[in-house]
Structure 1
Amino acid sequence: MFKRACLPLVVGLVVLAVAGCTGKGHEETAAVTTKPAPPATSSVRARACTPDNSHQDVPRTAPRQVHWERFKGVAVPFSPSVGPLIVQGDIARCYAHTPRGALFAAVQISVRLDRSAGWQKILGQQVVDGEGKAAYARVRAAGQVVPAGEAAQITGFRIVSYTPQTAVVGTVSRDPAHGGRMARTTTVRWDGDWKLAPTPQGSTGSAPQAVDSLSGYVFWGGFGPSQP
């Protein structure tokens, strides 16, 4: 999430406090645990990279057993079965090779890439090679990170398309700086783990489009508006 110098705001993926869902924007009761993320220098989980790849169905409700941690003011999801199972510095990796794994990777990688001061390392390890990767590097180097208090927060998701090789994840976010909801898509591809595929324009996702509701999306998220 960063601003391009002298260019329109690029809104990245981030997260809002919510509970489970029905897939049509209707709220259910669900337990969501939250805690602040530890400093990047000590954020290391020394567990094996053995995610659960058994659930190949496309999720129609909010994933369970999820907790949320802030990354540079933005909440990102964690699951002991879906991932990320390994966090080293600002890099979070090891996701299930499933639709849920693609969802978590799309949120985690895009948020971290847009907000980390060490984005070049994330770009090198968790972004697929190609025109989009080169374009992102140019745009990011010339941009500014959106302050935590102005960062948009995810309120819902849907899996637009999924194959074991490529997944397109749709998200709806609430923008605390400008109000309203914005929808966009993010693409990830499998290369031993899920990796982000930036747009040819150098963004982590498609251009945000205003939406009036969460209709067609699963109600999902972890925190309210960010604080610096």
Structure 2
Amino acid sequence: MPDNSQPDVPTTAPRQVWWKRFKGVAVPFSPIVGPLEVQGDIARCYSHTPRGALIAAVQISVRLERSTRWREILEQQVVTSEGKIAYSRARAADRVVPAGKAAQITGFRIVSYTPQSAVVGTVSRDPARGGRTARTVTVKWEGDWKLAPTPEGSTGSAPQKVDSLSGYVFWGGF
């Protein structure tokens, strides 16, 4: 059972986090906030807190974008919406970015948080685009955090180039 006792929005990097590569991208794990269950490419069981939302947003979006078993992730960890249908169509025609060119998380901020929904901002070192890019990902609570894709079918907002981590908390697994 994840620890739901830290309901405050983090302004520093979450403690007790370790990173492991998933298909070339470092993703965070915490024995406190999750994911507490990993079966194949699906990682679930996150705390119902801002920290749980943060780790779920990173885990689910990376796994969905990188896995060859993305349909299972889509079915189990994405909220039912027009965005889910659009993602499925777009992904079926798309290729996965090679591991060496995949973006790596270097910072985060919680843009908004309620117990029902969280918008997580991340900054990544992005070899494919050069430099750093920022984007947001939305997750919603449906018994666990689930990804809420954009109506156009993207896992988050379009990446925007940024010059620094200003306004973000330094955090990443490199």
Cα deviation code 1:177-219 (max 9, x no counterpart)? 3321111100000000000000011110001111111010000
Corresponding residue for residue 57 of structure 1: 8
Say whether residues 1:202 and 2:153 are aligned partners.
yes
Corresponding residue for residue 186 of structure 1: 137
Structure 1 or 2, whichever has the larger Rg, is 1
Say which SS state the counterpart of residue 133 (structure 1) adopts.
helix
Give the distance between the partners of 1:69 and 1:91, measured in 2 at CA.
14
Corresponding residue for residue 45 of structure 2: 94
Question: Residues 128-143 of structure 1 correspond to what in structure 2 (within 5 A)?
Answer: 128-143=79-94
Give the distance between the partners of 2:89 and 2:129, measured in 1 at CA.
26
Which fold has the larger relative contact order, with Cα–Cα distance below 8 Å and residues 6 or more apart in sequence?
Answer: 1
Instruction: Give the TM-score taking structure 1 as reference length.
Output: 0.76
Question: Residues 108-123 of structure 1 correspond to what in structure 2 (within 5 A)?
Answer: 108-123=59-74
Give the distance between the partners of 1:114 and 1:177, measured in 2 at CA.
15
Corresponding residue for residue 149 of structure 1: 100
Say which SS state the counterpart of residue 157 (structure 1) adopts.
strand
Q: Which consecutive residues of structure 2, in runs of 5 or more, have no partner in the other structure? A: none
Moved over 6 A (4+): none
Q: Which amino acid aligns with 1:219?
A: F
- Aligned residues, how many? 174
Instruction: Give the TM-score taking structure 2 as reference length.
Output: 0.99
The share of aligned pairs that are identical, in percent, is 82
Give the distance between the partners of 2:51 and 2:79, measured in 1 at CA.
19
